[in-house]
Structure 1
Amino acid sequence: MSKPTGLTTASILSISLVGGVSTLITGILPQLEREFATVSTTMVEWLVTAANISALVTLLANPYLTHRWGIKKVVVTGLWLAALTGVIPLFTHVYWLVLLSRLALGLGIGLFSPHAIGLIAHTYHGELRARLLGYQTGLGALGNALFLALAGLVVAFSWRNVFLLYLLLGGVALLASAGLPASEAAVPADQLAVKKLPVSRWLLVALAFVTYLLIWGVQLKLPRLFLDRAFGSAELANWTLSAMNMGGLLAGLTFGRVHRHLHQYTLTLGYAGAALAVVLLLTTANTLVAVGSAVFFNFIYSYTGPYLVYRSQLDLPPAQIDAMSSWLTIATVISAFFAPPVWNFLGALGPGTVTTNVLLWAAGLLGLIAVAVTAFFRHQPQPILERGNSHDH
């Protein structure tokens, strides 16, 4: 698939648009807490992130499934499964049924989400691959923004209507059915073998886990911060989360240009800028400044994701690219599962409320990571492909 058709390209990119659909209910966390008043905060927040841990099951099984049935069938099946199970909470008031439906949603996400990266990584090389991975991140942010913006509209009528938005995945499934090639090469079932990946790549997987754990800490507590400081209603929280993703879209679209100039220090920019944004979010009492800080946080932090993907796949043979893509995806989804207990535990340690303490921890950790990666890169040789000596294919 070195020269994909327009329809095929649209099909691949559409997978990126819906990769983060589990998060579209983030803005209704206060309503979910009222609906399930007898359930702990951590358990309610798990309704947002539970899909990510169940996605781990199908992510691990993905090499076997694609080897057995091909990428197209796996992707389309995953999209339909997510569409149909995502809407179930609209019809029930029972917490455990809602949780089970979210777990089923995750099974679908795990079937299609890793192929958004893998298909690009197989097809392009050098700075062109970096630019397209930036686009992939940007499109993921755009998809999240669109879903959260729609959630901000429908929540005005009823917060339960937010779950109807999962039916839109059916449209993406139809596009994938029409555009993805049926003859996509099968993936060997042993590609996730630990021994095949260098230790340095596992360190990047670990950093990806921490990176996404931090962004979850900010996003999960943002609706509560807005409520506690009277910044606005649930609608404003949803619109802010949507605008944050538009910041991510802008970062994705400009990642290639920034990477050409900063190379490995693109990572420093992302972590340091995010730390400053969280500090501003913590210290302001102004609604517009709070919204702007949240949007800037997501914008600047979104430079880290595509860089971690790009750097992790440099010089890997084709047989290892899918393995690396899968493990990076696994790192991001399990970070979402661990986010509620980790951040609620850390939120109990500090001078302020749980929400304030979480943001303090996030700002401190982001600053430490910025310093650490800068010091590390100063003592490491720059990869050849990052010096601008490679050619786009």
Structure 2
Amino acid sequence: MKSKTWLTTASILSISLVGGVATIITGILPQMEQEFASVSTTMVEWLVTAANISALVTLLLNPLLTKRFGIKKVVVVGLWAAALTGTIPAFTHSYGLVLGSRLFLGLGLGLFSPHAIGLIAHTYHGELRARLLGYQTGLGALGIAIFLALAGLVVTVNWRGVFLLYLLLGGVAALAMRALPEPATIQYTDKEELHKLPFSRWLLVGLAFVTYLLIWGVQLKLPRLFIEHAFGNAELANWTLSAMNMGGLIAGLTFGRVHQHLHQYTLTLGYAGAALSVVALLTTKNPAVAVAAAVFFNFIYSYTGPYLVYRSQLDLPTGQIDAMSSWLTMATIISAFFAPPVWNLLGLIGPGAVTDNVLLWIAGVLGLIAITVTVVFRRQARPILETTMQDNRKRPHP
């Protein structure tokens, strides 16, 4: 392959920048609830998460599609499909058409988003590959933050205009058409892929599902919380969601250093800190404190995802690493589908309004998980500590 140009690198990294575009309409949920007043809250919130579940279809078909048409064509088609179908809700008042367009948006996302990491791995090597993979993680959070910030500006003019932001994917598609490389087809023959994953890794997949279910609950209910508690309007909610993703970016950049010092207790820090921030969101009357608590929530909670990925793939054979990555991806996607009905159902149980009850449930579950993982880690560390102490006793003292 010829030497890579900066345009090639930009075309690859730009895929990460737009990988989370399905969520840019989160801040206009209150407006959509008014628009579709005859539709339940769950069905309206599904307009945000529907793209994630339909993306699962093309994610599963991706290996067959790339084998037949090549990665470049699949990525370009996916970007154009998402760009065009994502704008449809700006021109219709029909809930059915809006939902259908969101489902087609997800099909496009499923075509290009899996290749954000794969193209880096196939195209670059050594330290440059490691550096670009780090950039890829940060660009994902940065891209969502930029789109939500733009949504915060557009919503002041016309909330439907937020859907027109999907046209920006057309620019990424044009860049991909010009500069995206076409890696050689990779043949996977490792028999280790056929081995079953250990039971402990399935527990981590389940924990990943719950982890993302919880963060979806906060993000879906945050705009409504700002209105009900008089913290601010849709513009402030969008800017807060944008800032939350910047907090996630900072957490991603600092995860390695934090994990170096705390090791497995990085997970405890993430869940316990998130629980406290949700309590602050529920109890404060100050808009500035609410914004700070929301940003801190996403920052501290973003330590959990990288740890779950790291721990789930630790000491696994090559084939099982790929399988583990696939299951983690599916768990996070499926959690988006279940989030609206789960939280709206649990929101009916509690002392306050639905939004407050949902956040109360989330704070309680986060606290329970923090306590549980801490107890498990301490029990796992006890035999190691006892063995170390016995070895020290056996050593001759000077």
TM-score (norm 1): 0.88
2:100 matched to which residue of 1?
100
- Per-residue deviation at 1:364? 0.8
| 1:62-81 equivalence runs, <5 A | 62-81=62-81
Task: Supply the RMSD in Å over aligned alpha carbons.
Answer: 2.9
Residue 21 of structure 2 corresponds to 21
Aligned counterparts of 2:124 and 2:351: Cα–Cα separation in 1: 49
Kept in 2, the 8 Å contact 1:114–1:326? The answer is: no
Cα deviation, 1:309-366, whole Å, max 9, x if unaligned, reads: 2222333444444433332221111111110000001101111110001001111111
Which structure 2 residues correspond to residues 101-180 of structure 1 after superposition, within 5 A?
A: 101-119=101-119, 135-180=135-180
Question: Is the CA contact (8 Å cut-off) linking 2:119 and 2:183 kept in structure 1?
Answer: no
Q: In 2, Cα distance between the equivalents of 1:251 and 1:178?
A: 33
1:318–1:189 CA distance, 2 compared to 1 (3 A): closer
Residue identity matched to 1:337: F
1:149-180 deviation per Cα after TM superposition (whole angstroms, max 9, x unaligned): 00000111100000010111122223333443
Q: Which moved more, 1:57-66 or 1:81-90?
A: 57-66
User: For residues 194 and 207 of structure 1, do their structure 2 counterparts lie closer, same or farther at Cα, with a shift above 3 Å needed?
Assistant: farther
Partner Cα distance (1:125, 1:209) in 2: 32
Partner of 1:55, secondary structure, is helix
Q: Label 1:312 to 1:294 Cα distance change in 2 as closer, same or farther (>3 A).
A: same
Specify the alignment match of 1:308 in structure 2: 308
The alpha-carbon distance between structure 1 residues 197 and 74, as it changes in their structure 2 partners (threshold 3 A), is farther
* Residues 1:193 and 1:229: Cα distance change in structure 2 (over 3 Å): same
Q: Could you say what secondary structure the match of 2:350 adopts?
A: coil
Which residue matches 1:386? Answer: none
SS of 2:263's equivalent in the other structure is: helix
**What runs of 5+ residues in structure 2 fail to find an aligned partner?**
383-398
Give the number of the structure whose alpha-carbon radius of gyration is greater. 2
> Any conservation in 2 of the 1:27–1:234 contact (CA below 8 Å)?
yes
2:377 maps to 377
Match of 1:358 in 2: 358
Asked whether the equivalents of residues 63 and 189 of structure 1 are also in contact (C-alpha less than 8 Å), the reply is no
Structure 1, 261-270 or 7-16: larger mean CA deviation: 7-16
Query: Number of matched residues?
Result: 381
Quote the Cα distance in structure 1 between the aligned partners of 2:91 and 2:344.
Answer: 29
Shift of 1:117: 4.0
Q: Determine helix, strand or coil for the equivalent of 1:38.
A: coil
Q: What does 1:205-216 align with in structure 2 at a 5 Å threshold?
A: 205-216=205-216
Distance 1:134 1:328, change over 3 A: farther
User: Would you say the 8 A contact 2:248–2:302 is kept in 1?
Assistant: yes
Aligned-residue identity in percent: 80
Q: Does 1:246 align with 2:265?
A: no
Q: What is the CA–CA distance in structure 1 between the aligned matches of 2:107 and 2:7, rounded to whole Å?
A: 26
Rounded Cα–Cα distance in structure 1 between residues aligned with 2:303 and 2:49: 23
Return closer, same or farther for 1:313/1:212 CA change in 2, 3 Å cut-off.
same
TM-superposition CA deviations, 1:260-307 (whole Å, max 9, x none): 222222222111111111011111000000000000001111111122
Unmatched 5+ stretches in structure 1: 383-393
- Cα distance 1:338–1:139, how it changes in 2: closer, same or farther (>3 A)? same
The answer as to whether partners of 1:133 and 1:306 remain within 8 angstroms in 2 is: no
CA contact (8 A) 1:118 1:325 kept: no
Q: CA deviation at 1:134?
A: 5.6
8 Å CA contact 1:134, 1:254 repeated in 2: no
Q: Which residue of 1 aligns with 2:53?
A: 53
Cα 1:32–1:165 change in 2 (3 A) is same
Work out the CA distance in 1 between the residues paired with 2:199 and 2:14: 32
Normalization by structure 2: what TM-score? 0.87
